[in-house]
Amino acid sequence: MRKDTKTIESNTIYLPHNTIAEKIVLSSLIISSEAIEIALQKIKVETFYFKNHQEIYKAIIFLYQQKNCIDIITLTTFLQINGLLDQIGGIQIITDLIDQVPNLVYFEKYIQIIQDQFLRRLLIQFGYKTINSGYVTNIPIENILNELEKQFFYITNKNNNQDILSSAELFSNTIKELRQKSLNPSLPGIASGFYALDLFTQGFQKSDLIIFAGRPSMGKTALCLNIALNIIKTYKSPILFFSLEMSKEQLMYRLLANEMEINSRRLKAGHISQENWSLLKEIVKNLSSLPLFIDDSPNISVQEIRSKIKKILFEHNNINLVIIDYLQLIQNSSIKTSNRTQELSYVTSILKSMAREFKVPIIVLSQLSRNVENRINKRPILSDLRDSGSIEQDADLVLMLYRESYYNLNLKESEIAELVIAKHRNGPTGSIKLKFKEKYAKFINLEN
């Protein structure tokens, strides 16, 4: 590989590249239209290091898209007519390409080599920008970090481009997946621990955005904590809980009251019997061994949420579930608008993109509008979602919590809660019933 120099910020450095691989790729494009089709999907102009290779690539793509024959004559003629032949170094550069004898079997390997070098160049440029940003004092550090984070994600996304698959390849993958599942029948998704809910949903699916909605004090946080505990005890995989409303300490008390089945007010006041102290120590020991991560940063932005998910993934290689409590408190540092509905629509679209990117179900709690209180029948419906915008559109699953006893204190079945499956992109809608032990803030399956 020849070492060529380029200048970044007036410092002469050697940038990663592979001359032979670039020549072989261009040579392949001249002799094979199939190679051009692959290149169109995977190679950008800037993937090539040398300016003359970039110009040759652009010329080949232009000729191909104009349905012209591509060979050494047509390519040379096009470059000459457009005043580019001398710029690229003359006809010798084109004949040098023909001297390369490509093996098309390894064409995608050659592409991978030049993409790898391109990403390394991007990282070097990113490093220089990071260093220079440290000297900028007239821009808030939060803005600088957000901008650098966006650029870093741009680089990582460049490395995660997915191939376009044919229907035959997709069906082949599906058959393999079904064969594997037939050997070990189980829910295709992550079991919530609530059997009736899992029958409807087949578990929480990877890449799904799930909205949990309800009026204040209906039990949304309690239900999501119960789901988190059920899942983490079963799968022993990390769960990340963003609590924008309650502090970490309040959530800890809730978890302990839930597990001990003791009134949370008594627990906070320290009214604990000797017997309960022993139980408390055992529960703390068990919960401490579970990979539950809680972030109680107030006014967190969707960009910060993304960054923290990335951090946990980097440290633990896996996240089973992300829970955000709650949607209307999430900020957006990229777009500031007086239209809160528009801003939340942008947030939900980003959260859906994150669920797909990280292949993890994301549960987002949401408030319902006050319109519910003005109706005789207070059972929630989709249009009750507060600042709904595109929430309904982005969500794969919308669950709405309803307790009749919240409105009717004299109700006999005061422990019955209803979970309405108001939207289900990949399955049926309906409702299920759960038992709610209000003094412990605990949801459990009905016995029947």
CB-based burial label for 104 (10 Å; 0-12, 13-18, 19+)? middle
| Average confidence score pLDDT of the chain | 83
Task: Look at residue 162 in the predicted model and tell me its pLDDT.
Answer: 53
Of 65, 62, 96, nearest to 79 (Cα)?
Answer: 62
The answer to whether the beta carbons of residues 219 and 443 sit under 8 Å apart is yes
| Residues paired with 444 in a beta bridge | 435
pLDDT of residue 57: 92
| N-term to C-term CA, the chain | 72
* Range with the poorest average pLDDT among 138-152, 356-370, 379-393: 379-393
Mean pLDDT of 148-156: 76
- Per the CB < 8 A criterion, the answer to whether 299 and 244 are in contact is yes
Q: Give the residue from 419, 356, 364, 359 showing the smallest Cα distance to 388.
A: 364
Q: What are phi and psi of 324, to 5 degrees?
A: -125, 120
Amino acid 4: pLDDT: 44
User: What's the confidence (pLDDT) of residue 393?
Assistant: 82
Please write down the long-range contacts of 441-444, taking CB distance under 8 Å and 24 or more positions apart: 441/219, 441/222, 441/225, 441/254, 441/257, 441/258, 441/264, 442/222, 442/226, 442/258, 442/261, 443/194, 443/219, 443/222, 443/223, 443/226, 443/417, 444/226
222 Cβ contact list (under 8 Å, min separation 6): 254, 258, 436, 441, 442, 443
Stronger pLDDT, 149 or 248, i.e. the higher one = 248
What are the structural domains of the chain?
5-158 (1.10.860.10), 187-445 (3.40.50.300)
- Whether the pLDDT of residue 282 is over 80: the answer is yes
pLDDT digits (tens, 9 = 90+) for 391-432: 888 889 999 998 888 787 777 667 888 999 999 988 899 999
Helix or strand run (H / E) with residue 417: strand 416-424
Residue 325 exposed, middle or buried by CB count within 10 Å (0-12, 13-18, 19+): buried
The three-state (H, E, C) secondary structure of 181-234, written as one string? HHHCCCCCCECCCCHHHHHHHCCECCCCEEEEEECCCCCHHHHHHHHHHHHHHH
Residue 242 in this model has a pLDDT that exceeds 90: yes
Kindly report whether the global pTM for this prediction surpasses the value 0.75. no
pLDDT for 3 equals 41
Average pLDDT over residues 269-284: 81
Query: For residue 230, is pLDDT > 50?
Result: yes
Question: Look-up: residue for tokens 């995660």?
Answer: 160
